[in-house]
Amino acid sequence: MAKPLHLGFLYAPQSGSQTHDKSFDPLSPLHLTGLARDLEGAGFAFLLIDDSVGRAEPARSEAFTTASFLATRTRHIGLIAAANTSHVEPYNVTRLAASLDHVTHGRAGWLVSTGVVDPAGANYGQTAVAPDVHYERASEILDIARRLWDSWEDGAFIRDKQSGVFVDGSKIHPIDHVGAAFSVKGPLNVARPPQGQVVVAHRVADKRSAEFAGRHADIAILAAETAGDIAALRDNVLAAARGARRDEQHVLLFAEIVSVIGSDHAAGAPKAPVAHYVSGTPTEIADQIEALANAVTLDGLVVAPGVVRSSPDAFSRDVIPELVRRQRLRSGDRSATLRERLGLARPGNIFEHKAPEPASTAA
């Protein structure tokens, strides 16, 4: 039997593929807290907070601010916030993610998105990025982020009141990055994240995104309609990981599923362009999930409900207990960091025990 699965939840109301019912206000701190706590209670390993910089309905708060707000209102669930590399400065987004990891005590992730969601470019007029270089830019930003997160070694802070030595300067490193789009001197102005490196997630829908996820992501979220297409994306990601000389075990493979339970159709759930739908009664949905898990080797599922509600989702209430009964889900280790919970090791520091490296160049 296939290994038990982790569960993630994709929160993206007004994204074109997800809406919310009248009882849920995406700008209400109470409703957001309720949602995150419900998911935590139901056993989800992480909550993905999607974001959009396009002309979406004015209904969602920015993802890192939202995740930071939820950080101390939750205790165990991973909080993965989206930021679009086509519209951010690498130094800014790197410190947002590092800081989120500190305030969550190691439960932070970054959902890397890239490219223009038309007409987002119109909001960035003179600084808009040419479409053909979005992934090059994303890749360069990830290289910068990883080095900046490591720019303070774990032992850099001494904080000895007696001697007055606050830091060990030999454990703080400039990164001296000079690449195609950016030059970033470093070091970061944030202590190394508790997880060492913040968990990086990426949605995979085609060859280009599979290539990026294989090289950079800890969590690849495979979005396709059929089990066969999901398996193909999975193979692309793993091939890219091998190409980048990464251990395949270090890329966790999640399939994105859109659950449609009972009345969701009536609630006017929008249809995602490409997604693996599961629908019917809770038992039927559990059957469909089992079938998918038997067909494609996966580490987990990202549940993207068509409708977000303020009350516990039917998936949490009815489907999860059924999957637990069938021993298809991992039981969460509730005290761990997100990396520990997902079985990902805390990475070593690239600057430790090494002479300073020459300036990196863009891929």
Partner 1 sequence: MSKRELHFGLMFWAGGTHPSGWRYPSSHAGAAFDIAFLQRVTQLVEAAKFDFLFLGDRLASDPSLQTTNPSQMSRLEPFVSGASLAAATSHIGIVVTANPTYYDPYNLARMFASLDHLSQGRASWNLVTGADEIAAGNFSRQSHWDTERRYDWADEFVAVVRGLWDSDAITPLHHKGRYFDVAGPLNVKRPPQGHPVILHAGTSDRSRELGARDADVIFAGQATIESAKAYYADVKSRARKYGRRDADIAILPGLTPVVAETTEKAVEIFDHLNSFIALEPEGDGGEASRYGSLGRMGKRRNLTAVSAAIGVDVSGQDRDAPVDPVVLAEANENGQRLFADVKRLTRRDVKGPNRLTYRDLIFGHISTGAVVVGNPNEVADHIQLWFDERAADGFNIFPPYVPESVEAFTSLVVPELQRRGLYRTEYSGPTFRDHLGLAKPAAVLSGSRSLRG
Name the residue nearer to partner 1 (CB basis): 33 or 281: 33
With 0-12 / 13-18 / 19 or more C-beta atoms within 10 angstroms meaning exposed / middle / buried, residue 335 is exposed
Count of residues that bind partner 1 according to CB under 8 A: 64
Alpha-helix runs per DSSP H in the chain: 29-42, 63-71, 90-103, 134-149, 207-216, 227-243, 282-295, 314, 320-325, 338-342
Is residue 149 part of the contact set for partner 1 (CB under 8 A)? no
Instruction: Calculate the alpha carbon distances from 258 to 151, 277, 324 in Å.
Output: 39, 5, 19
Q: Which of 4, 34, 37, 59 binds partner 1 (CB under 8 A)?
A: 59
Q: Which of 39, 53, 272, 301 binds partner 1 (CB under 8 A)?
A: 53
Q: Which of 45, 82, 96, 238 binds partner 1 (CB under 8 A)?
A: 96
Q: Which of 31, 56, 267, 287 binds partner 1 (CB under 8 A)?
A: 56
Name the residue nearer to partner 1 (CB basis): 124 or 155: 124
Is the distance from CB of 48 to CB of 220 less than 8 angstroms? no
Is residue 152 part of the contact set for partner 1 (CB under 8 A)? yes
Which token pair is 282? 């809770």
Which of 25, 37, 110 lies closest to 70 in space, CA to CA? Answer: 37
Is residue 65 part of the contact set for partner 1 (CB under 8 A)? yes
Is residue 64 part of the contact set for partner 1 (CB under 8 A)? yes
Binding segment for partner 1 (CB under 8 A), chosen from 67-75, 238-246, 277-285, 317-325, is: 67-75
Shortest spacing between CB 40 and partner 1, in angstroms: 15
Name the residue nearer to partner 1 (CB basis): 169 or 358: 169
Per the rule left: phi > 0, alpha: psi between -120 and 50, beta: everything else, 327 is left
Which token pair is 265? 């159709």
DSSP string, 261-328: EGGGTTTTPPPPSS-EEEEESHHHHHHHHHHHHHHS--SEEEE--SEE-SSPPHIIIIIHHHHHHTT-
> By rule CB under 8 A, what string of x and - marks binding of each residue 166-185 to partner 1?
xx-x--x--------xxxxx
Shortest spacing between CB 325 and partner 1, in angstroms: 35
Q: How far apart are CA 255 and CA 270, in angstroms?
A: 19
Is residue 125 part of the contact set for partner 1 (CB under 8 A)? yes
The residues that touch partner 1, with contacts defined as CB under 8 A, are 27, 29, 32-33, 52-62, 64-66, 68-73, 87-89, 91-92, 95-96, 98-100, 102-103, 119, 122-127, 152, 157, 159, 161, 164-167, 169, 172, 181-191
